[in-house]
């Protein structure tokens, strides 16, 4: 078999393809799937038809709004089918298509499709399937390896280099990945970007990012539903310190039909939006350093803080609703409430997070801070004492807990106990915050009182 462009299809199949495009444009997913299925049954190597077919599958899957349903006897059948890919790749191809018709987000079925296509000599189809797997499982090292190899076979050296680079990120000492990088670089008529045994000056990551933009920006206009282009542009914008542009592009990707259901894109959008808001706050705080008495700048800082806190609270609420029994998410929600000035709401969530042993110390600290914000200093002291007992080493985290405990003792007028906590920090770190000044001031007053 061989890869077949649309222009080489028989007239009837070309007409079916055109009809499928028109049907998809007006939301008739069922007809689009039926038409593309007919073409693929006769000509499985037409990747443009397969791409349209997958787009229709994803849209129909989203439209049904149901939990992923596994076909062909469930997941247990997948390993059995994989074992027969080499012996009967056509059968494996058909099995993979059957699973994907029920669940287009099945990475295992896409891998089966890729392996069957490789065995049939349908390299373009194999690359298409591997790219779909990458969108679902970007950290699958073996898929990245296969994707780089297949891209090299069809002369897509730049994209092969990108896949090999991702593989190096996951497995920096992998010799095979290094070989792939060299092969892709040679195919691209560039010096090898792989560092040999003798250290060399690495390529400037900013230059690499600019090259990525120059490569993918034109391609995204001609292939607007090819998500790897968007991912590359977003990564380059972030590398260049342009999170605002990255956010614009990630939202463009999510607006495409193929991006609507992409969980990875959703996570990236959330991360980048947080980066943008953090950058706004840093910018405002920098301006405040230059004009500490300027009321407009002060207001800008407060506004940026509120906006960032509000965003984090919204994200934390959403994540906790999705994962109500995840104590890490619960802890983040509690922290978001506290940062938003809602200590009352934070306390309940910190208490729930205590149920997870690995979150105990963080939850105790959060409860202490919440009680302190409510001016319930006795309750705060109790929580900070428990947190302090659970931290054996006087590291930065424990110093903050002990310092907070000292502050609460101060607020209660228990000066000697406060100084004992400050001295515990001072014995380990004389430069921590203002502990030296607090201790000196305390003893100077004692001496002055004795002289009187």
Task: Catalogue all structural domains in the chain, each as residue range(s) with its CATH number.
Answer: 6-194 (1.25.40.10), 323-385 (1.25.40.10), 391-452 (no CATH)
Residue 73 has pLDDT above 60, yes or no: no
Whole-Å CA distances, 228 to 114, 142, 354: 17, 18, 41
Cα-Cα-Cα-Cα dihedral of 149, 151, 155, 160, to 10°?
Answer: -80
- Please give the span between the terminal C-alpha atoms of the chain, in angstroms, as a whole number: 102
| Residue 17, number of CB atoms within 10 A of its CB | 22
Mean confidence (pLDDT) of the chain: 85
Instruction: Tell me the C-alpha distance between 9 and 40, whole Å.
Output: 11
**Contact assessment for residue 380 and residue 410, using Cβ atoms and an 8 Å cutoff:** no
pLDDT band (50, 70, 90) for residue 65: low
Residues 16-44 pLDDT 10s? 888 888 878 887 888 888 889 999 998 99
Burial class (CB in 10 A: 0-12, 13-18, 19+), 143: buried
Residues 289-324 pLDDT 10s? 888 899 998 999 999 999 998 998 998 898 888 888
Q: Give mean pLDDT, residues 261-273.
A: 86
Closest CA to 29 of 72, 70, 64, 68: 64
pLDDT confidence of residue 68: 41
Copy the structure tokens of residue 213.
């933009």
For residue 435, the surrounding DSSP H or E stretch is helix 435-451
Q: Read off φ and ψ for residue 423, nearest 5 degrees.
A: -65, -35
DSSP string, 38-101: HHHHH-TT-HHHHHHHHHHHHHHHHHHT------TTSTTHHHHHHHTTTT-HHHHHHHHHHHHH
Residue 90 has pLDDT above 90, yes or no: no
pLDDT confidence of residue 69: 40
Copy the structure tokens of residue 231.
């991912």
Residue percentage of the chain with pLDDT more than 90: 39
Residues 112-136 pLDDT 10s? 999 988 888 898 999 999 999 999 9
pLDDT band (50, 70, 90) for residue 156: confident
pLDDT confidence of residue 203: 56
**Contact assessment for residue 194 and residue 182, using Cβ atoms and an 8 Å cutoff:** yes
pLDDT confidence of residue 84: 57
**Contact assessment for residue 310 and residue 274, using Cβ atoms and an 8 Å cutoff:** no
Burial class (CB in 10 A: 0-12, 13-18, 19+), 104: buried
Residue 174 has pLDDT above 80, yes or no: no
Residue percentage of the chain with pLDDT more than 70: 90
DSSP string, 192-228: --S--SS--PPPPHHHHHHHHHHHHHHHHHH-TT-HH
Residues 337-376 pLDDT 10s? 999 999 999 999 999 999 899 999 999 999 999 999 999 9
3-state secondary structure 353-412: HCCCHHHHHHHHHHHHHHHHHCCCHHHHHHHHHHHHHCCCCCCHHHHHHHHHHHHHHHHC
pTM recorded for the entire structure: 0.46
Instruction: Tell me the C-alpha distance between 286 and 290, whole Å.
Output: 7
Residues 372-417 pLDDT 10s? 999 999 999 999 999 999 999 999 999 999 999 999 999 999 999 9
pLDDT confidence of residue 435: 93
pLDDT confidence of residue 196: 44
**Contact assessment for residue 147 and residue 118, using Cβ atoms and an 8 Å cutoff:** no
pLDDT confidence of residue 452: 39
């Amino acid at each position: 078999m061989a890869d077949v462009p649309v222009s080489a299809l028989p007239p009837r199949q070309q007409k079916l393809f055109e009809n499928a495009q028109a049907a998809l444009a007006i939301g008739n997913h069922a007809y689009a799937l039926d038409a593309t299925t007919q073409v693929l049954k006769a000509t499985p190597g037409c990747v443009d038809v397969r791409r349209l077919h997958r787009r229709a599958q994803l849209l129909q899957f989203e439209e049904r709004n149901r939990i992923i349903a596994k076909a062909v006897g469930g997941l247990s059948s997948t390993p059995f089918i994989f074992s027969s890919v080499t012996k009967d790749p056509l059968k494996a191809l058909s099995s993979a298509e059957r699973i994907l018709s029920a669940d287009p987000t099945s990475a295992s079925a896409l891998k089966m499709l890729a392996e069957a296509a490789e065995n049939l000599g349908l390299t373009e189809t194999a690359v298409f399937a591997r790219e779909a797997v990458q969108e679902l499982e970007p950290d699958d090292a073996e898929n990245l390896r296969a994707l780089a190899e297949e891209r090299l076979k069809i002369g897509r050296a730049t994209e092969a280099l990108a896949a090999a680079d991702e593989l190096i990120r996951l497995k920096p000492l992998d010799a095979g990945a290094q070989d792939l990088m060299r092969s892709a670089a040679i195919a691209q008529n560039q010096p090898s970007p792989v560092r040999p045994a003798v250290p060399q000056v690495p390529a400037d990551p900013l230059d690499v990012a600019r090259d990525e933009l120059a490569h993918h920006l034109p391609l995204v206009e001609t292939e607007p539903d090819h998500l790897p282009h968007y991912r590359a542009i977003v990564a380059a914008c972030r590398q260049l310190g342009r999170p605002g542009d990255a956010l614009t592009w990630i939202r463009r990707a999510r607006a495409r039909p193929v991006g609507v259901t992409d969980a990875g894109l959703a996570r990236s959008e959330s991360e980048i939006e947080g980066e943008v808001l953090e950058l706004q706050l840093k910018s405002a705080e920098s301006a405040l350093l230059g004009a500490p008495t300027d009321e407009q700048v002060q207001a800008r800082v407060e506004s940026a803080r509120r906006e960032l806190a509000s965003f984090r609270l919204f994200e934390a609420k959403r994540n906790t609703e999705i994962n109500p029994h995840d104590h890490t998410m619960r802890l983040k929600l509690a922290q978001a409430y506290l940062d938003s000035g809602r200590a009352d709401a934070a306390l309940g969530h910190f208490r729930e997070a205590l149920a997870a042993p690995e979150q105990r110390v963080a939850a105790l600290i959060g409860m202490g801070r919440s009680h302190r914000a409510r001016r319930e200093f006795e309750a705060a002291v109790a929580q900070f004492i428990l947190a302090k007992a659970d931290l054996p080493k006087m590291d930065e985290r424990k110093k903050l807990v002990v310092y907070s405990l000292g502050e609460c003792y101060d607020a209660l007028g228990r000066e000697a106990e406060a100084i004992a906590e400050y001295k515990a920090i001072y014995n380990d770190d004389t430069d921590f915050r203002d502990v030296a000044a607090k201790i000196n001031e305390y003893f100077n007053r004692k001496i002055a009182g004795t002289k009187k």
